[in-house]
Amino acid sequence: MESWLLKQVNEVSSRLPADSFKGLSVLVTGGAGFLGSWMCDALIELGAEVVCLDNLSTGRVGNVEHLMGREGFRFVREDVSTWKPDKSFDVIIHGASIPSPDDYVRRPVETMMPNSLGLLNMLENARKTDASVLYTSTSEVYGDAEVIPTPEEYWGNVNPVGVRSCYDESKRFGEALCMAYHRQYGVDVRIARIFNTYGPRLDPEARYARVIPRFIMQALRGEPLTIHGDGKQTRSFCYVTDMVEALLKMAVLDS
């Protein structure tokens, strides 16, 4: 890993409680993706034993290649919907997803699987082994929000049959499934609604490159910045290390 990336990972680790993950067995689904790979990095530095599960439908081996061979790290190329773990975990971080509209409009069925069958698979494992589950949900559960800024208590304004519903509705179902397992079986679940995360490993050349890397690349090339509409739109952005710190705290802290 590049030294400046390692420095950022170490900064995340330093802001978490000492020994918070030391010796814990942690499964990160979607671990070779943009956000998942950063969580794998931080967890290894925190002394966790990490299994990185990814079928590489959107993730890249290059995101975790530097961890190959590290003590406590194992990469498994499998689909979260069908994979049967050969061990138990203390913490399951379920990040497997297809988050790009370009991808999920082309692959709607595949998009729904990680947040339904895949999450069910992880919750069943957690129920049988007493693991805790952190589910990475999305701001898209609010749909085309009619309340801005949007409070967490807002139930949303979602089109259940629209072209984006494969992502929006599967994430909403995932949240409901988490709470059903919590209420019926007592599974320790935590739900994070992620907005717009940016930082290294986010592919600026992807067809659905998020606005910050796209603006940066256009500026570096001397191209006009692409603005849609009147340019008065607002967005909530979070740098990747801040997001990872928040997610890991959610995964391990009681309050």
Per annotation, catalytic residue among 104, 167, 181, 239 = 167
Amino acid, single-letter form, for residue 218:
Q
Distance of CA 189 to the CA centre of its chain: 15
- Ranges in the chain, pLDDT < 50: none
For the stretch 81-98, pLDDT in tens is 999 998 999 999 999 999
- pTM for the model stands at 0.93
Q: Is 154 a catalytic residue?
A: no
pLDDT at residue number 205 = 65
> Residue 243: in which H helix or E strand, if any?
helix 240-252
Query: Could you tell me if 31 and 94 are in contact, meaning their C-beta atoms sit under 8 angstroms apart?
Result: no
Give 25's strand partners.
49
Say how far apart CA 59 and CA 61 lie, in whole Å.
7
Q: What six digits make up the tokens of 77?
A: 């190329």
Domains of the chain, CATH where assigned:
3-203+237-252 (3.40.50.720)
Q: Which of 134, 153, 131, 133 is nearest to 142 (CA)?
A: 153
pLDDT at residue number 214 = 81
Q: What six digits make up the tokens of 18?
A: 């000492």
Q: What six digits make up the tokens of 80?
A: 């979260």
pLDDT at residue number 232 = 83
